[in-house]
């Protein structure tokens, strides 16, 4: 069975030496000193290794079961959920007015990375609740907040997000679920929603469903959509639970992975719901927290891969197979460990250099969200809006790829379920799909975000890279980083220029390259992160840091990324510059 040990050392490095959170001066960051975050991270690491990770394989093999309308979670989940609640882990960055601890989102992300690495399917129950919490927090009336939030912060009640219907996922304008206004101000909700994560289960007293539906008078398409609060059990004014609402589980989907999470078909048969936010402004309300939700999925993508990587490293050190080509490395054993072989190294370095870059990128994104939300920083808001599809799309594609690489290290043992590596690959796969499939992320990036506010944010990003490179001018040690980053950034700019020159007369010319652009930009972002991390590592070494192995390893890993991952940028640019013709030239019948 795989194990998991949180890499708190690297998290501390990113928080304090790269992002320098304790000097950020953001409201709510007052406590973010190194000792404090270390204590929080260590405690979360302990829960992750000891409580959550041991249940990961159980969740996968048992899955969730629907019996007589009731969903049962895998053995041990309920007790673990109680432990998470008692530890206060569900409330970390929530509003203190409703029982939360008010900590920065970036710290919640660090802790969340561990929980996802340890047990992604389990963590989704809380994750979805957090999303619903955020929606009610942002759009609810004072009464709604008072009624629902304290119980959701504590996870006594959990939450769900209901968007997809059988015939529409991305294109929500075709939605059929109806909301009929009642005399008492409530609505009757009728329709079927599918792919509802944590849709039902046995770990909470109540479940607060947030449901998109069409109320009369809103017009065609997405304009007619409103957002509703539909509790599983109606909540009385004194907070006690009332009657069972007319919402039921149609079935639990059989999925490729995340079996520990109940993905439900939900049937709303005239269920009672209350409008959340403004009438016919449901899409806007649902998407207020989209940056966070999508960042959360990007985090899942690399966090699952992190767990896979850790186990691949253990296996590569343990498994004796073959001899090093440069001479026997383990003379007392029958063979050398896998890790001596260059191609195994190549695989592990691909994994490690991506994962550490992804962590820095995600924490940086979370830090931008804190800047935007807590400090009202509009520049940060614009930047994270631009980065969100990249964090989601790039990190989940590469996260899945990384999990598959880790699985491959095990040879045949990676393919059998006993070793747990298959689960990491199967679990990671969903992150490329949900919360907007990655093709939709690419469309959002190229079709919307690039030109947002007159292209201001992407310009700011390029300026940021320029400034970063300039800051290291003449520093020979940093040259492998800044040279590669400059080249990659130029390629990204060339791609943007190609879109500008061709996209106006033929939108297909831009959109045919959207997916490659997302990856090209992802590499540039990780290149930027590695440049900053290398700088921080050199600073630590220059300052006489004692754990030299960590910092030297950091620099070597960064050099690997620059030398062996950034060359993908030229490939993506070439694909983009080939334009729409190769992509669009076949008639549908010719496929």
Q: How far is the CB of 257 from a second copy (least distance, A)?
A: 8
Q: Which of 16, 359, 371, 426 binds a second copy (CB under 8 A)?
A: 426
Name every residue whose Cβ is closer than 8 Å to that of residue 564 and which is 6 or more positions away in sequence: 349, 350, 353
Instruction: Tell me whether residue 206 or residue 388 sits nearer to a second copy (CB atom).
Output: 388
Pair of tokens at residue 300:
């899942």
Contact call for residue 1 and a second copy (CB under 8 A) = no
Rule CB under 8 A: which of 557-576 touch a second copy? 557, 559-560, 563-564, 567-568, 570-571, 574-575
Told to check if 508 binds a second copy by CB under 8 A, we report yes
Q: Between residues 135 and 443, which has the closer beta carbon with respect to a second copy?
A: 443
Q: Which two tokens stand for residue 176?
A: 């059929």
Query: Which of residues 138, 174, 328, 500 is near a second copy by CB under 8 A?
Result: 174
Q: Minimum CB separation from a second copy for residue 385, in Å?
A: 20
Reduced to 3 states (helix: H, G, I; strand: E, B; else coil), residue 156 is coil
Q: Which residues within the stretch 379-408 sit at the binding site for a second copy (CB under 8 A)?
A: 400, 404, 407-408
Q: Which of 168, 234, 451, 541 binds a second copy (CB under 8 A)?
A: 168
Choice among 17, 165, 435, 468 that is catalytic:
435
| Nearest-approach distance from CB 569 to a second copy, in angstroms | 9
In whole angstroms, the minimum distance from the beta carbon of 253 to a second copy comes to 5
In the list 36, 233, 415, 462, the residue contacting a second copy (rule: CB under 8 A) is 415
Nearer to a second copy, 371 or 575 (CB): 575
Q: How far is CA 175 from CA 169, 179, 426, in A?
A: 9, 11, 29
Kind of pairing between the strands at 178-181 and 157-162: unpaired
Q: Which of 481, 467, 472, 391 is nearest to 436 (CA)?
A: 391
Read off φ and ψ for residue 384, nearest 5 degrees: -70, -30
Give residues 286-315 in contact with a second copy (rule: CB under 8 A): 313
Going by their DSSP bridges, the two strands 206-214 and 157-162 should be labelled as parallel
Per CB under 8 A, 226 contacts a second copy: no
Q: What x-and-dash track marks residues 118-157 binding a second copy by CB under 8 A?
A: ----------------------------------------
Strand partners, 300: none
In a 13 Å sphere around the CA of 127, the CA atoms on its Cβ side amount to: 26
Distant-in-sequence, close-in-space partners of 544: CB < 8 Å, separation ≥ 6: none
Rounded least distance, CB 437 to a second copy, Å: 5
Among 188, 345, 374, 486, binds a second copy (CB under 8 A): 345
Residue 208, burial from CB neighbour count under 10 angstroms (0-12, 13-18, 19+): buried
Applying CB under 8 A, among 123, 311, 388, 438 the residue interacting with a second copy is: 438
At residue 206, φ and ψ (nearest 5 deg) are -150, 160
Q: For a second copy, give the closer residue by CB, 109 or 533.
A: 533
The structure tokens listed for 7 are 């890499």
In terms of CB distance, is 128 or 348 closer to a second copy?
348
Site membership for a second copy, residue 245 (CB under 8 A): no
Residue 445: closest CA among 487, 387, 364: 387
Of 17-25, 42-50, 232-240, 412-420, which segment contacts a second copy by CB under 8 A? 412-420
- Please tell me the distance from the alpha carbon of residue 502 to that of residue 508, in angstroms, as a whole number: 9
> Smallest Cα–Cα separation from 498: which of 569, 506, 488, 390?
506
Contact stretch for a second copy (CB under 8 A) within 14-22, 38-46, 121-129, 167-175: 167-175
Tell me: does residue 332 bind a second copy (CB under 8 A).
no
Q: Which is nearer to a second copy, 241 or 570 (CB)?
A: 570
Kindly state the number of chain residues that form the binding site for a second copy, as judged by CB under 8 A: 98
Q: Which of 343, 348, 352 is nearest to 407 (CA)?
A: 348
* Cβ–Cβ < 8 Å for 59, 260: yes
Specify whether the CB–CB gap between 204 and 157 falls below 8 A. Answer: yes
Please say which residue, 115 or 434, places its beta carbon nearer to a second copy.
434
Q: Is residue 442 within the footprint of a second copy (CB under 8 A)? A: yes
Stretch that binds a second copy, among 177-185, 229-237, 438-446, 456-464 (CB under 8 A): 438-446
Interface residue with a second copy among 35, 325, 467, 546 (CB under 8 A) is 325
The SS3 assignment for 266 reads strand
Q: Which one, 40 or 121, has the nearer CB to a second copy?
A: 121
Q: Which stretch binds a second copy (CB under 8 A): 18-26, 171-179, 459-467, 535-543?
A: 171-179
Where does this chain touch a second copy (CB under 8 A) — which range of 84-92, 148-156, 249-257, 360-368? 249-257
Angle, to 10 degrees, between the axis of helix 105-139 and the axis of helix 342-375? 50
Shortest Å, Cβ 317 to a second copy = 6
Half-sphere exposure of 431 (CA within 13 A, CB side): 36
CB 215 within 8 A of CB 181: yes
Q: What is the sign, positive or negative, of the torsion defined by CA atoms of 474, 479, 485, 486?
A: positive
**355 binding a second copy? (CB under 8 A):** no
CA distance 380 to 366: 10
* Of the candidate residues 22, 101, 267, 321, the single one contacting a second copy (CB under 8 A): 321
Shorter beta-carbon distance to a second copy: residue 140 or 414: 414
How many Å apart are CA 519 and CA 397, to the nearest integer?
9
Q: Which of 58, 103, 432, 528 is the binder for a second copy (CB under 8 A)?
A: 432
Stretch that binds a second copy, among 198-206, 272-280, 366-374, 440-448 (CB under 8 A): 440-448
Nearer to a second copy, 470 or 479 (CB): 479
Interface of this chain with a second copy, residues 443 to 502, rule: CB under 8 A: 443, 447
Query: Binding residue for a second copy (CB under 8 A) from 35, 183, 238, 254?
Result: 254
**Residue 330: count of CB within 10 angstroms of its CB:** 13
When the beta carbons of 36 and 415 are compared against a second copy, the nearer one is 415
By CB under 8 A, residue 586 contacts a second copy: yes
Gyration radius of the chain over CA positions: 24
Q: What is the rounded distance in angstroms from the CA atom of residue 33 to the CA atom of residue 355? A: 24
Is there a contact between 481 and 472 (Cβ–Cβ < 8 Å)?
A: yes
Q: Is 62 a catalytic residue?
A: no
Q: Which residues carry out catalysis?
A: 435
């Amino acid at each position: 069975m795989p194990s998991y040990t949180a890499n708190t050392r690297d998290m501390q490095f990113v928080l304090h030496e790269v992002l320098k959170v304790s000097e950020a001066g953001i409201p709510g960051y007052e406590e973010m000193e190194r000792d404090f975050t270390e204590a929080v991270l260590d405690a979360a690491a302990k829960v992750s290794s000891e409580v959550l990770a041991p249940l990961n394989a159980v969740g996968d093999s048992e899955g969730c079961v629907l019996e007589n309308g009731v969903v049962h979670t895998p053995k041990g989940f309920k007790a673990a959920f109680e432990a998470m609640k008692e530890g206060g882990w569900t409330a970390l960055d929530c509003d203190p007015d409703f029982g939360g601890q008010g900590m920065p989102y970036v710290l919640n992300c660090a802790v969340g990375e561990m929980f996802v690495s340890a047990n992604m399917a389990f963590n989704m129950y809380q994750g979805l609740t957090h999303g619903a919490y955020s929606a009610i927090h942002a759009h609810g009336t004072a009464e709604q907040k008072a009624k629902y939030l304290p119980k959701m912060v504590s996870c006594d009640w959990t939450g769900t997000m209901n968007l997809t219907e059988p015939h529409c996922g991305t294109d929500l304008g075709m939605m059929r679920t109806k909301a009929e206004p009642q005399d008492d101000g409530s609505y009757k909700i009728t329709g079927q929603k599918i792919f509802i994560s944590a849709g039902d289960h046995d770990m909470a007293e109540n479940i607060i469903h947030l449901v998109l539906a069409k109320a009369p008078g809103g017009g065609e398409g997405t304009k007619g959509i409103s957002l509703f609060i539909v509790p599983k059990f109606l909540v009385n004014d004194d907070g006690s639970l009332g009657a069972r609402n007319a919402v039921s589980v149609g079935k639990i989907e059989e999925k490729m992975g995340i079996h520990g999470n109940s993905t439900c078909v939900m049937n709303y048969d005239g269920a009672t719901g209350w409008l959340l936010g403004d009438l016919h402004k449901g899409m806007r309300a649902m998407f207020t927290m989209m940056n966070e939700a999508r960042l959360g999925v990007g985090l899942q993508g690399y966090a699952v891969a992190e767990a896979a990587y850790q186990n691949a490293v253990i296996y590569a050190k343990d498994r004796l197979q073959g001899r090093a080509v440069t001479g026997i490395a383990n003379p007392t054993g029958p063979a050398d460990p896998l890790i001596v072989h260059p191609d195994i190294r190549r695989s592990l370095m691909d994994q490690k250099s991506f994962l550490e870059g992804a962590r820095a990128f995600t924490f940086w994104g979370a830090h931008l969200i804190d800047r935007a939300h807590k400090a009202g920083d509009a520049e940060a808001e614009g930047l994270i809006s631009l980065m969100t599809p990249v964090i989601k799309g790039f990190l989940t594609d590469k996260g899945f790829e990384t999990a598959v690489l880790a699985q491959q290290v095990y040879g045949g043992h990676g393919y059998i379920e006993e070793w747990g590596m298959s689960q990491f690959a199967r679990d990671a796969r969903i992150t490329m799909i949900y919360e907007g499939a990655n093709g939709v992320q690419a469309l959002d990036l190229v079709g919307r975000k690039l030109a947002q506010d007159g292209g201001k944010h992407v310009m700011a990003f390029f300026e940021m890279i320029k400034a970063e490179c300039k800051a290291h001018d003449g520093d020979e040690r940093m040259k492998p980083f800044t040279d590669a980053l400059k080249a990659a950034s130029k390629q990204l700019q060339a791609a943007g220029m190609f879109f500008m020159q061709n996209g106006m007369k033929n939108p297909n010319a831009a959109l045919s390259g959207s997916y490659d652009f997302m990856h090209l930009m992802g590499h540039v972002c990780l290149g930027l992160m590695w440049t900053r991390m290398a700088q921080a590592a050199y600073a630590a070494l220059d300052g006489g840091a004692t754990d030299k192995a960590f910092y030297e390893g950091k620099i070597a890993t960064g050099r690997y990324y620059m030398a062996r991952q950034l060359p993908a940028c030229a490939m993506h640019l070439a694909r983009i510059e080939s334009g729409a013709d190769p992509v669009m030239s076949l008639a549908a019948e010719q496929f």
